[in-house]
Structure 1
Amino acid sequence: MNSPTVMQRLGWVVLSFFGFGLLWVSGEKAYVALTNKAPTTVDIADIGNGPLKAKWIDVVGGELDLADGFYKYPPGQPETILSLFIPYRSVGNHNSEIHVLVETSDPRYVRLYRELAEATTRSSKDALLRESDGLLSPPSLRGLVRFGVEDDLVIKEKLKALSSNVPSGVVVLNLGEAPAPLSASSLSAVVGIGILGLVFARRKTWMA
């Protein structure tokens, strides 16, 4: 059999990394599903005192600080909001350290964020915030904590650049998300194993 070209080898290397990545991510998702049967209630005052073991949480005791939020957008399209990142701070303490950063694409938050950005006076901004008090100060916020390969260090570094009150252990909470069912993790694992099996089979033919 002819030896593979450099580009062929590179393609199979990339495919093998993709297979390993699927296995890794499926393992993390299975871990979350098995260890988080129900959401754990966590007070905002207790976050930052040590590693957060629970990954599916109801965080309480705080409020969303939209004024210090920022958003992610597609390359070259800064007018398009893909998702918002909003600090969740202790009630009434907008100068406290940011221990929880909430990610959401909820259109209600996106609309309010745009309205605040377009408001031209302090009084109009304050009026918008008063009208949205229930949205910014909910009894609790439920979601999945990012960890492992999904822990976005780029987002954390950007938040640090925007605010000096950000500790290294800031928690990024994907609002409204819940653990994926084990069946989904199993399917990803099967696909990953299949890809790696194909790569190793091809490698074996090259070495024959």
Structure 2
Amino acid sequence: MKRFRFTLTAVCLVLIWLGWTDVSLFLRNRAPQTITAAALVENGPPREWLHVTGGYLDLLEGISTSGTLELEAFLIPLRLSPGVQPIDILVETRDPQIIQRLQDYYFTFDSETAQRAYLEAHAEDFRGQRDITGMLVGGLVASGNKDKLLKLAREEGLDISENIIFLSAGKEPARIRGFFFLGLGLLGLLKVGSMWRNAGRDAAPETENPL
């Protein structure tokens, strides 16, 4: 029984830690902070939820992260200006418009001439300036995923800065999950406390000495 109470206590503490992590992230990021791509690279991220302006999303340098022929997500450089090296910002995106453009470019045409014509007709989409709203990648699980994606990018030959900034486009801070975990963990600790008190009362008669 003691082992169960210790296990339950540990689970509750983990829930409280996870909940507070989400809640504190949400409290710091009530709305995305606007920052230019140049200021982000020069000064670093001021917060986790950002609206980055003034960058150029280079779709032709994008790498599919789906692992299948079905394109679902891409890792794409966000440059300070077209052609600038090395890459300081990488964006993971599932934007349907971007994915559709890349699908059309790579799989629709039978000749390089038609492919080039499509690229010229949609040059602004492929290498134009684009604002990005998303979250910095952080946390143990997300950081592990980031390492895998950066390894993939380097294997594909992208010239990546040592201080690369990694954004997940479209992602927002969790608004409810943290409060739920925090409340669940606190309620669990109260339950564990009552179990310890009940166990103490049950054991008390056994430890009393007879008169």
TM-score (norm 2): 0.70
* Structure 1 CA distance for aligned equivalents of residues 185 and 106 of structure 2: 44
* 2:86 matches 1:97: yes
Q: Secondary structure at the match of 1:190?
A: helix
For residues 40-86 of structure 1, the C-alpha deviation after alignment (integer angstroms, 9 at most, x for no partner) is 22222233335323211111222211121112226xxx123332111
Partner of 2:117: 127
* 2:186 matches 1:184: no
| Runs of 5+ unmatched residues, structure 1 | 5-11
* 2:111 matches 1:88: no
In terms of mean alpha carbon deviation, does 115-124 or 32-41 score higher? 115-124
* Structure 1 CA distance for aligned equivalents of residues 11 and 81 of structure 2: 45
1:187, CA displacement in angstroms? 0.7
Which of 85, 89, 96 is the aligned partner of 1:107?
A: 96
Q: Against the structure 1 CA distance between its residues 184 and 90, is the aligned structure 2 distance closer, same or farther, given a 3 Å change threshold?
A: same
In terms of mean alpha carbon deviation, does 95-104 or 116-125 score higher? 116-125
Q: Against the structure 1 CA distance between its residues 120 and 92, is the aligned structure 2 distance closer, same or farther, given a 3 Å change threshold?
A: farther
Q: How many residues align?
A: 190
* 2:21 matches 1:42: no
Does the CA contact (< 8 Å) of 2:79 and 2:88 recur in 1?
yes
For residues 85-141 of structure 1, the C-alpha deviation after alignment (integer angstroms, 9 at most, x for no partner) is 111112322x51222211122222112122222245444333333333454435411
* Structure 2 CA distance for aligned equivalents of residues 96 and 131 of structure 1: 25
Which of 155, 159, 172 is the aligned partner of 1:165?
A: 159
Does the CA contact (< 8 Å) of 2:12 and 2:184 recur in 1?
no
* Structure 1 CA distance for aligned equivalents of residues 60 and 113 of structure 2: 14
* 2:142 matches 1:156: no
Larger radius of gyration: 2
Does the CA contact (< 8 Å) of 1:156 and 1:170 recur in 2?
no
Give the root-mean-square deviation of aligned CA atoms. 3.5
1:197, CA displacement in angstroms? 8.5
Q: Secondary structure at the match of 2:160?
A: coil
> What one-letter code is carried by the residue in structure 1 that aligns with 2:164?
V
Q: Against the structure 1 CA distance between its residues 61 and 188, is the aligned structure 2 distance closer, same or farther, given a 3 Å change threshold?
A: same
1:164, CA displacement in angstroms? 4.5
Partner of 1:8: none
1:166, CA displacement in angstroms? 0.6
* Structure 2 CA distance for aligned equivalents of residues 27 and 147 of structure 1: 15
Does the CA contact (< 8 Å) of 1:90 and 1:96 recur in 2?
no
Identity of aligned residues (%): 21
| Runs of 5+ unmatched residues, structure 2 | 204-211
* Structure 2 CA distance for aligned equivalents of residues 53 and 185 of structure 1: 22
Q: Secondary structure at the match of 2:23?
A: helix
For residues 11-60 of structure 1, the C-alpha deviation after alignment (integer angstroms, 9 at most, x for no partner) is x79xx67973x544433332221112322222222333353232111112
Does the CA contact (< 8 Å) of 1:47 and 1:99 recur in 2?
no
